Chains A and B, each alone.
Chain A
Amino acid sequence: MIISLYIMLGLALLLGVVLGISALLFKVEGDPLVARIDAILPQTQCGQCSYPGCKPYATAIAAGEADINQCPPGGDAGAHALADLMGVEYKPINAANGVEKPKAVAFIDEATCIGCTLCIQACPVDAILGAAKHMHTIITSECTGCELCLAPCPVDCITMLPIAENPDNWKWKYPVIPIIAVPFEANNAN
């Protein structure tokens, strides 16, 4: 009786020490859950989720403050992935946050642009190039399509252009087997 008690006590102490050491050795910097949620989010940094960017939204989800259905650019697939990761029920995107749109990039009408730099300050990924009183332009490859530059433009010279399908981004389609209407008589004959 006493021996077994000692054994258990000894084990508990030993394991405690092991756990304590490994907690120090394998200390995780930051919250890995936030990073994993952030990896799913589309990084448009659009703020439609009512948080100032994807990282803050990820932090809020991890803290249980935000729901998983507030990211319209992530779309249904994003909501599914977040539901899987968080182990919660899937929810369709909250319409209050916006609707999923085809991917687009901003386009500055360079003739109208007055060079006010307001859009440059609004762009979350520094994808707008320009200087005060000089024409601005969008670096297409870096634009996330967040639409944050639309509101501050005083002359409304920025429009969102959906990305057209071209041979570069074209994808093979899911094979569909066409349904052929069999004539009625032929069907009856069987």
Chain B
Amino acid sequence: MNAIINFASNLIRGASSNKDVFKFNGGVHPHDHKAESTTLPIAQLAIPEKLILPLRQHVGYIPKVLVQVGDFVLKGQMLAEPEGTVSAAIHAPTSGTITAISEQVIPHPSGLPDMCITLTPDGKDTWAQLQPTDWRNTDKKRLVDKLRASGIVGLGGATFPTHIKLRTNGKSNVHTLVINAAECEPYITCDDMLMRERADQVINGIKIVQHLLGAEKCIIGIEDNKPQAASAMTAACANKALQVKVVPTLYPSGDARRLIHLLLDIEIPNDKRSTDVGIQVFNIATVLAVYRYFEFGEPSINRIVTMTGNVEKPQNFEVLFGTPLQSLIAAAGGAKADTTHYIMGGPMMGFDLPNEQVPITKAANCIIATAPDLFPAPPPAMPCIRCARCADACPVNLQPQELYWFSKSDNFEKARDYNLFDCIECGCCSYVCPSDIPLVQYYRYAKSEVIASDKGKEAADLARERNEFRLARIEREKLERAQKHAERAQAGKAEIKSVEANTTNLTLEKDETLAHAQTTTLAPTDKQAAIAAAIARAKAQKVASTPALAADNKSSAPTTNEAQATQDKQAMITAAIERAKAAKLAAIQAGVTPKNIENLSATIQTEINETDAIREKINITTKTKVAD
């Protein structure tokens, strides 16, 4: 049976015209709605009254602000520099004055405010000094370092800093560059229009990226619903070693891994990157930005945005970053009356924008005005019937129905085991679900819960480590202090001894010098006098510091000192013994007996008696010895 199926599928495959295009599992065919916004060419949007530039426009660390409120900046001047490895710079999209650095609502699914730089344009649009780079005759490493200051990030929507993707550490094993021009999401046409109008620039950009990566091969993947773009690209790269491949329209073929699968029949393992198998993927608009940066020195200050949906004149615009959404809506002829809100990104993966004042950022490839008849509210979700249509549609070969159960019941560990984090949130499962369950929302919820709990665990581990370190430190300090005390006590004793020794030495010296002086009578008398005075001083000091030993000073002989010390010690010991005896006697007289001699067994009693006898004997012998 299988053999027959295989034979049949081989026949079909053989018959198909696209022999070199492969297929991934799943995917859906939503209506593409691309025709609306491709009727008009790309238009230049006028400079708005103010530009709001969020610092958070890319994946990674927030850049460091370089300007202050009131500063005058030129077009293309860097406003914030990248901080940390994964970070991107932000540049002034036009010349003007910085009027605020404050929190403003940003285009983010949370709808929360974040730090933004507000620039009020002066209308003159004066460029700063631009520095084009001769990329053919410059070291690759220097080029990539330069790119770090360009602010260029992946313009397909992922906004990953481009310079990171081009870092090769001297040797690159990337052999194939894939240019992602699939643009699979409905409504979005910015890459389509870009290819139609600026194919030559794109090809130049590809050459630069190919040069930086050292990739021999380059494939441009375009979906077959963009024939004009595909023919423009084919015409532009007719004489070059580039290959334009038209892939069948199937959402989500624009996902990097899906596109690699389509073009090269290579499936990248979930724990590997595409560079591990020698493939790097770039969005077509990113490549163009790279070209403009090296050729003209223009940093990333604008992008092409599709303004479509429920507006009068859907069109693509070249928009400066920071342009408020309302300017874009106005340029597209205004929104129709029944518009409810706006979506950033496509209808499958995009999110609702909080208001019309949010700025256009590097991630904004498309803005869709929505209306109830365009995007009818989904019917209430019904229970999952385990039809597994979602599993059939899933392009990542996950088990969406299982992930749904685990996410719904907060069983996050299990969801993670079922590779929740491989989910690309493409929305195919929600699209095909006959019960209209918002599956992707559950996965997003589960993902952010897992991420938050991981962060919490990390913080707890840090706290534990710091607490343990602190306790260890306190313990160590205590020990050190005790040691220091002991050392000081030791040092005190040693000092006394050394002073004693010094005095003896000095006395001897004095005698010697005196004798010397007497015999030779050459040394000046004042010197002798000075020495004598010093000795006297030292003696006086010693007497003052050790009054207890003052008596010994007279004899000034160490042997007698020691004898005296032993005598003293002996005296103290005998005194202590006397005291103890007296106390014992007093206790006996008072009728107090030691507590532990009650209820003694016979053996212990005999033992005690024996010990007492021995003690008595010793006493007698010592006494007789003393008497002797």
Contact surface of A with B, Cβ cutoff 8 Å: 38, 41-45, 53-55, 124-127, 142, 144, 165-167, 169-175, 177
Contact = CB atoms under 8 A, between A and B. Distances in A.
Contacts of B460: 41-43
B114 A167 contact: yes
Interface stretch (B195-203, B359-367, B445-453): B445-453
Nearest to A175: B441
B135 interface: no
Interface in B435-460: 438, 441-442, 444-445, 447-449, 451-452, 455-456, 459-460
Contacts of A44: 463
B361 to A, nearest CB: 12
B467 A124 contact: yes
A125 B452 contact: no
Given A54-B464, A55-B464, A144-B463, 17 more contacts: A43-B464, A44-B463, A45-B467, A53-B467, A54-B467, A55-B468, A125-B463, A125-B466, A125-B467, A167-B56, A167-B110, A167-B112, A170-B109, A170-B112, A171-B445, A171-B449, A177-B381
B108 interface: yes
Q: Which of A38, A142, A171, A173 counts the most chain B CB atoms within 10 A?
A: A171
Interface string B576-620: 000000000000000000000000000000000000000000000
Contact of B106 (A38, A43, A124, A167): A167
Contact of B110 (A41, A126, A170): A170
A41 B457 CA distance: 10
B380 interface: yes
Nearest to B455: A169
Task: Decide if the interface of chain A is mainly helix, strand, loop or mixed.
Answer: loop
B470 interface: yes
Which has the most chain B C-beta neighbours within 10 Å: A43, A55, A126, A144? A43
Interface residues of B, number: 32
Contacts of B468: 55
B469 interface: yes
Contacts of A173: 445
Contacts of A41: 460
B509 interface: no
Nearest to B464: A43
Contacts of A43: 459-461, 463-464, 467
Contacts of B114: 166-167
B441 A38 contact: no
A45 B442 contact: no
21 contacts: A41-B460, A44-B463, A45-B467, A53-B467, A54-B464, A54-B467, A55-B467, A125-B466, A126-B466, A127-B466, A142-B463, A165-B112, A167-B56, A167-B108, A169-B452, A169-B455, A170-B108, A170-B110, A172-B441, A172-B444, A175-B438
A142 B438 CA distance: 38
Interface in B101-146: 106, 108-110, 112, 114
Contact of A45 (B110, B445, B463): B463
A27 to B, nearest CB: 23
Contacts of B469: 126
Interface of B: 56, 106, 108-110, 112, 114, 380-381, 438, 441-442, 444-445, 447-449, 451-452, 455-456, 459-464, 466-470
A166 B54 CA distance: 14
A169 to B, nearest CB: 7
A171 B441 CA distance: 11
Nearest to A52: B471
A165 B463 contact: no
Contacts of A144: 459, 463
Contact of B470 (A124, A172, A177): A124
Contacts of B470: 124-126
A96 B462 CA distance: 28
A159 B146 CA distance: 45
Contacts of A170: 108-110, 112, 448
Contacts of B381: 177
Contacts of B56: 167
B412 to A, nearest CB: 12
A139 to B, nearest CB: 10
A175 B445 contact: yes
Nearest to B462: A142
A41 B274 CA distance: 39
A44 B461 CA distance: 10
A126 B108 CA distance: 35
Nearest to B447: A172
Nearest to A124: B467
Contact of A166 (B112, B441, B456, B464): B112
Nearest to A40: B460
Contacts of B455: 169
